[in-house]
Amino acid sequence: MSGTGGMRMYAFHCGGEKTLRSVFDPFDPDCGATIHPPYFFYLIRHPEGDVLFDNGAHPGLIGDPRNRLGAAADLYDIVMAPGDDVVSRLHTLGVDAGNIGHVVQSHLHYDHSGGLEFLTGATVYVQRSELAFAYWPRSTSVMSTSARTSTRCRTGSRCAASTTSSTTAGF
């Protein structure tokens, strides 16, 4: 994108899930209904480098969601197919995931940060409070396995933690 003088933003649908409404709101009058939340991430092509906002779910959810989510996998019917991952979706535009320079995480749930391990060249931006919450308590965290095992976020050496109080304000 370098030298074009403009920006473009692309929205990538990357699967989704089926689950009961009660997983999100147990007090909803229709809490027994099945809902179908989609998964998305966004690429911003900027003259100074590419930025991702979130990065979708890990492709490992396709064949073995329990390996990625543990017992929480029983709450969701993951609806993903091969090619619904961040690497494959970016490839449709000729973008190499390893060349992404920056990733802005809205939060660290598995459907928003599952592709972090494939973004090896990126600096990851996440709120300090979100990162702390994602690690507490470690045994029951719903944070993605990719985020939990990322040394960029664990050590802070490549994780630029923000102190703002809103996850997506101003973005």
Digitized pLDDT (tens) for each residue of the chain, 171 residues in all: 545 579 999 999 999 999 999 999 999 999 999 999 999 999 999 999 999 999 999 999 999 999 999 999 999 999 999 999 999 999 999 999 999 999 999 999 999 999 999 999 999 999 999 998 888 776 554 555 555 544 344 334 345 554 333 333 332
If we measure between CA atoms, which residue out of 131, 112, 98 comes closest to residue 55? 112
* Three-class DSSP category at 161: strand
Helical ranges in the chain per DSSP H: 60-63, 65-69, 86-91, 110-113, 128-134, 145-149, 151-155
Flag whether 171 is in a domain. no
Task: Give, in order, the Cα–Cα distances in Å from 129 to each of 164, 167, 169.
Answer: 9, 10, 15
- Residues of the domain holding 137: 8-162
Flag whether 62 is in a domain. yes
- pTM for the model stands at 0.78
CATH number at residue 146: 3.60.15.10
Query: Dihedral angle at the C-alpha atoms of 105, 107, 109, 111, nearest 10 degrees?
Result: -50
